[in-house]
Amino acid sequence: MASVEEALKTQIRNIEARSGKSMKEWKAVIAASGLAKHSEVVAMLKTKHGMSHGDANRTALVTKDDAKAAPAKKVDSAVTEIYDALLAEIKRLGKDVEVAEKKGYVSLRRAKQFAMLRPAAKHVDVGLILPDAKVTKRLESAATFNAMFSHRVRVATQSEIDAQLKSWLKAAYSRAG
């Protein structure tokens, strides 16, 4: 996977192929339903149109009436390489790793979410769910970053994808199974 943007485009193409409807057509279906809340739209797409949760969630996000197309963030090519290397390392943890693109980040799940990747201008933020791990200079608290995660690691170079980071990823992955 070359980038989050390409993965999102692929996901949308797959949804359109499976459903036989374009995102423009889904937007009309959602508008005609009169539903406004994201959770209600997702539930309707799942029950009335037989979509999987992931497809329904992405369709609801993409077709949201008030969503404005935002210009893509400028991301350094080195950050893209770090992101790709992190994602490859995470996929090595097991075949059951689910990569789910969200708005602005990628959720990493097993039976439940265990981590996330969020590219920034000069680094990639790795959010981890490690409630028993001690906060250190490198394994920061995620309290001001994202409340869904206990810790954050900022990865600014590929060399920072080291044994220590891999052990934290593995521990979070193991807890989520």
Same domain as 96, residue 47? no
Q: Say yes or no: 13 and 100 in one domain.
A: no
**Domain enclosing residue 50, as ranges:** 4-63
Residues 85 and 166 in one domain: yes
Coil, strand, or helix at residue 154?
Answer: strand
Burial profile 141-173: b = 16 or more Cβ within 10 angstroms, e = fewer: ebeebeeebbbbbebeeeebbeeebeebbbbbb
Kindly report, residue by residue over 64-89, the tens digit of the pLDDT. 743 444 334 455 778 889 999 999 99
Q: Report d(CA 35, CA 30) in Å as an integer.
A: 7
Same domain, 13 and 97: no
Is the residue at 50 inside a domain?
yes
Asked if the structure places residue 19 within a domain, the reply is yes
Give dist(CA 96, CA 103) in Å, integer: 22
Instruction: Give residue 113's pLDDT.
Output: 94
Per-residue pLDDT of the chain (177 residues; tens, 9 = 90+): 457 777 788 889 999 999 998 888 888 888 777 787 888 889 999 999 999 988 998 898 887 743 444 334 455 778 889 999 999 999 999 999 998 887 778 899 999 999 999 988 889 999 999 999 999 999 999 988 888 999 999 999 999 999 999 999 999 999 998
Residues 136 and 52 placed together within one structural domain of the fold: no
What pLDDT score does 112 carry?
94
Tell me whether residue 72 is in a domain. no
Residues 85 and 169 in one domain: yes
Residue 174 CB: number of other CB atoms within 10 A? 12
Identify whether 89 is part of a domain.
yes
Residue 89 and residue 51 share a domain: no
Same domain, 55 and 85: no
Average pLDDT of every residue of the chain: 87
Task: Catalogue the E-assigned strands of the chain.
Answer: 98-102, 105-109, 113-119, 124-128, 140-141, 151-155
Please state the domain count of the chain. 2
pLDDT at 89: 95
Question: What local confidence, expressed as pLDDT, does residue 10 receive?
Answer: 85
